[in-house]
Chains A and B, each alone.
Chain A
Amino acid sequence: MRLFTRRTGQHPVDERIVLDDVHVRLGERDVLRGVTLDLPERRIAVVGANGSGKSTLARLLNGLVLPTGGSVRVHGHDTADDGAAVRRAVGFVFTDPDAQIIMPTVAEDVAYSLRRHGLSRAEVDDRVAAALDQVGLAEHRDHPAHLLSGGQKQLLALTSVLVTGPAVLVADEPTTLLDLRNTRDVGRRLWDLDQQVVVVTHDLDVAAGAQRVLVVDEGRVVADDAPGPALAAYRRRMA
């Protein structure tokens, strides 16, 4: 059974992410310069050097950053006009799990995501238990979140986002703080999700699991292809 399935019947039929001539200017700096993309694929990776604009690109997708020019539409929702609907549709996982875990214990943090979903306590408990079981954190349900390992914390952060059933998951360098085993585990889980997944990463092994890879450099998408040619282009740029 796939637990982290998308909610059905709540999203428009249009299941694409569309960026139309997007510019983002922060202070005096042009972080993104005229990015145009149509992303119908389910598995998308974004790679690029530090400061290239890839994290800003990820933040555009759930309205954390709004374009200063152009538009971003996610599954039919314009991020500038319909922020609340975009955030319901798009889950976001950050690099540092400590910055996104809100409640003191594991189960409580997952349950906190469901507080506005109109579920009974028993339903919340059932969904939390099933979610923690699926990611292998069931035995830690009453443990303090701060005592988990880095990999377990990132799995908890991922679970707390996915338990609400978003249609899209965006992850900004979710494996940067993890060791090799946890990087592989989290990477595999991300690509195995039912959601449309966009992963910003420095890990080329994780990126290789995508259907489409975007290479970002100096605010522009400089390569956009299947993993093989896109990652080869990225390696040439970084040489």
Chain B
Amino acid sequence: MTGSLAGAYSPGTSVLHRAPAGAKLVALLVASTALLAVRSATGVGVALAVVVALYALARVPWRLAWGQVRPVRLVLVVLLAVQWWLAGPTTAVVTCTRLLVLVALAGLVMLTTRTSALLAAFEAAARPAARVGVDPTRVGLVLALTIRSVPVLVDLVGRVRDAQRARGRENDLRALAVPVVVGALRQADALGEALVARGLDD
């Protein structure tokens, strides 16, 4: 889970790596919208081939490429079975391939774009909102902290779960939830203090 967010970037020098983050995000939005209109097996087959070609163009290792779609593999299997049963094989394959292509495309953007470049693009997009009092740099900071918090919280849950297991209380949800919430609040306090100390609140 953590690998799909924080640190998903795979360094490289391909055209896709060098493309501006904003352009890639807009292209992702356009491609995703267009994909929803594709209803034929041939259409989604072409889309899948294009995505595979883009991964090859980006020279992303196949292990990392698989890592982008692996989290949805079970969803795809269930969706394929349900759709097959309800709407027939063509619709099932088209729907599942469409989802696979969407996830793979989003993963490709993450793999070829530094988080800092993504945040800068979001900050630029939020700049017009400054007129109504929204601080674009704060938007970027919130996104950065959200991404950064995922592995920290996963680590916290793991440590609390180990502690509960050591005390023989692995199935007690309250014994897990209370220390996790308290730990997360403490972490948030400490992070806030660190942000002030680094002058990011000035």
Chain A complexes with chain B: yes
Q: Give A contacts to B, CB under 8 Å.
A: 62, 64, 83-84, 87-88, 91-92, 94, 96, 98-105, 108, 111-113, 142-147, 160-161
Max chain A Cβ within 10 angstroms of own Cβ: one of B11, B148, B193, B199? B199
Inter-chain contact A104/B11, CB cutoff 8 Å: no
A64-B196, A88-B199 known; A105-B152 Cβ under 8 A: no
Inter-chain contact A103/B148, CB cutoff 8 Å: yes
Inter-chain contact A147/B198, CB cutoff 8 Å: no
A125: min CB distance to chain B, Å: 11
Q: Taking CB as reference atom, which chain A residue is nearest B2? A: A146
Set A84, A96, A105, A161: member contacting B7, Cβ < 8 A: A105
The residues of A that contact B196 with a CB separation of less than 8 Å are: 64, 87
A99-B187, A101-B148 known; A146-B155 Cβ under 8 A: yes
Q: Taking CB as reference atom, which chain B residue is nearest A108? A: B116
Interface digits, B164-197 against A, CB 8 Å rule (1 contact, 0 not)?
Answer: 0000000000000000000000010011011111
The 4 closest A-B pairs by CB, nearest first: A144-B7, A99-B190, A100-B194, A146-B151
The residues of B that contact A108 with a CB separation of less than 8 Å are: 114-116
Could you tell me which residues of chain B, from 27 to 54, have a CB within 8 Å of some CB in chain A?
none
Inter-chain contact A100/B198, CB cutoff 8 Å: yes
The residues of A that contact B115 with a CB separation of less than 8 Å are: 103-105, 108
Inter-chain contact A103/B116, CB cutoff 8 Å: yes
Q: Taking CB as reference atom, which chain B residue is nearest A157? A: B194
B139 close to A (CB within 8 Å) = no
Set B141, B151, B187, B199: member contacting A84, Cβ < 8 A: B199
Inter-chain contact B9/A105, CB cutoff 8 Å: yes
B6 close to A (CB within 8 Å) = yes
Set B3, B144, B187, B193: member contacting A102, Cβ < 8 A: B144
Max chain A Cβ within 10 angstroms of own Cβ: one of B151, B194, B202? B194
For the side of the interface on B, what is the size category?
A: 20 to 34
The residues of A that contact B194 with a CB separation of less than 8 Å are: 92, 94, 99-100, 102
A105-B7, A111-B116, A112-B116 known; A98-B145 Cβ under 8 A: no
Q: Taking CB as reference atom, which chain B residue is nearest A109? A: B148
Inter-chain contact A143/B7, CB cutoff 8 Å: yes
B157 close to A (CB within 8 Å) = no
Inter-chain contact B6/A144, CB cutoff 8 Å: yes
A201: min CB distance to chain B, Å: 18
The residues of A that contact B144 with a CB separation of less than 8 Å are: 102-104, 112
Inter-chain contact B191/A161, CB cutoff 8 Å: no
Q: List 29 A-B contacts (CB under 8 A).
A: A62-B197, A83-B202, A84-B199, A87-B196, A87-B198, A87-B202, A94-B197, A98-B152, A99-B187, A99-B190, A100-B190, A100-B198, A101-B148, A102-B145, A102-B200, A104-B5, A104-B115, A104-B148, A105-B7, A105-B114, A105-B115, A108-B114, A108-B115, A108-B116, A142-B11, A144-B3, A144-B7, A146-B152, A146-B155
